[in-house]
Amino acid sequence: MRWGTGGAGWGPSAFPFWWGSQLAAAQPGQALLSPAAWGQLRLSVIGGREAKPHSRPYMVSIQFGGVHACGGALLHKRWVLTAAHCFPRSVVGTAVVGLHSLRDHGATTQTFPIRAVCPHPGYDRQTMENDLLLLQLEGKVTPSRTRRLIGLLGRAPAAGTECSLAGWGVRGHGGLSPTLQELEVTVLDTRMCNNSRFWNGDIAPTMICFQGRHRGSAPSKGDSGGPLVCGKRAAVAGVLSFTSPDVTDPFKPPVATSAVKHKNWIRKTLRRGCGSPQPGRTGQTDHPVLFTQVGF
Ligand SMILES: *[C@@H]1O[C@H](CO)[C@@H](O)[C@H](O)[C@H]1NC(C)=O
């Protein structure tokens, strides 16, 4: 498999993520993964807890060379919502659905090659604006107890809204989490988050700032792309995008890209695919009736 050289030079200078050496050290036996791929491991859960197995059946693990790189949300039997920065070049990945334990996939999972990679056309790797990407799977997920779709939240969550997230990313100083971890978070006021004590103007109107509900808890490396989930009936409000190098810095809280505010793009892409699928593929998708299943 060929790897792009993406990762180095990623993102705004305010939060220069480069986790290569830490992750290489934390992942013995994973030498098949080139250093460039480590740049794709951004955000995981610190101070969270193990999720009840399959209690979040919409969670997807996006993997490169069989190694978890990013989370995602199953919006449709053929489509996964994740972050654009998870695919800095057109790398060849797979999507694993129905997963709890990274090592022991078990009979509950389905693994799909990726048919098309559709980043948001407005994605800006400097400002991290519009950090969304839809992955079209090669094949259809068979829904089951461990594999289910999730819809988008009806409206953007207000400050103070209690939400949650989950991921397989790095916990503390260790490697990737062997099982899915989850974390409760609270949405922060965007104006506050954008002020000079916080992100100082880096927060675009389509971003959502949030913080771990328990002190010192935060998403961390490897959780990028996973959904920020809110509402009594769990629905996707946003997609985990970036944080500061010190993941528990209260003045540089983690940031998600709003999925709600990009609903039109998501809807259009699920219906029509995107213009630049992976080479040799077409962007053909399923009929729009399936939108009803994802709660638009
Ligand atoms: C944050 O501040 C910057 C710079 O002043 C501004 O361009 C941006 O629109 C602000 N974001 C929000 C959500 O108001």
Over its C-alpha atoms, the chain yields an Rg (Å, rounded) of: 17
pLDDT at residue 122 greater than cutoff 70: yes
Q: How far is the CA of 71 from the centre of ligand 1 (A)?
A: 28
Q: How far is the CA of 202 from the centre of ligand 1 (A)?
A: 7
Is the distance from CB of 231 to CB of 117 less than 8 angstroms? Answer: no
The Cβ of residue 35 has, within 10 Å, a number of other Cβ atoms equal to: 15
Q: What is the predicted pLDDT for the residue at 88?
A: 76
Is the distance from CB of 262 to CB of 251 less than 8 angstroms? Answer: no
pLDDT at residue 61 greater than cutoff 70: yes
pLDDT at residue 288 greater than cutoff 70: no
Q: Which atom of ligand 1 is nearest to the CA of 207?
A: 13
Which contiguous run of DSSP H or E holds residue 37? helix 35-38
Q: How far is the CA of 62 from the centre of ligand 1 (A)?
A: 32
pLDDT at residue 120 greater than cutoff 60: yes
Q: Catalytic residues, which ones?
A: 85, 131, 224
Ligand 1: which of 130, 194, 206 to mutate, most ligand atoms within 8 Å of CB? 194
Q: What is the pLDDT of residues 26-52, one digit of tens each?
A: 332 222 233 333 343 444 567 788 999
Rounded average pLDDT over 89-101: 88
Residue nearest to atom 2 of ligand 1 (CA): 201
Q: How far is the CA of 195 from the centre of ligand 1 (A)?
A: 9
Q: What is the predicted pLDDT for the residue at 242?
A: 94
Q: What is the predicted pLDDT for the residue at 104?
A: 87
Of 175 and 232, the one with more pLDDT: 232
Cβ < 6 Å from ligand 1: which residues?
190, 194, 201, 203-205
Of 223 and 294, the one with more pLDDT: 223
Residue nearest to atom 1 of ligand 1 (CA): 201
Q: What is the predicted pLDDT for the residue at 105?
A: 87
Q: Which atom of ligand 1 is nearest to the CA of 200?
A: 2
Taking alpha carbons only, the member of 225, 196, 233 closest to residue 83 is 225
Counting residues of the chain whose pLDDT is more than 70, the rounded percentage is 76
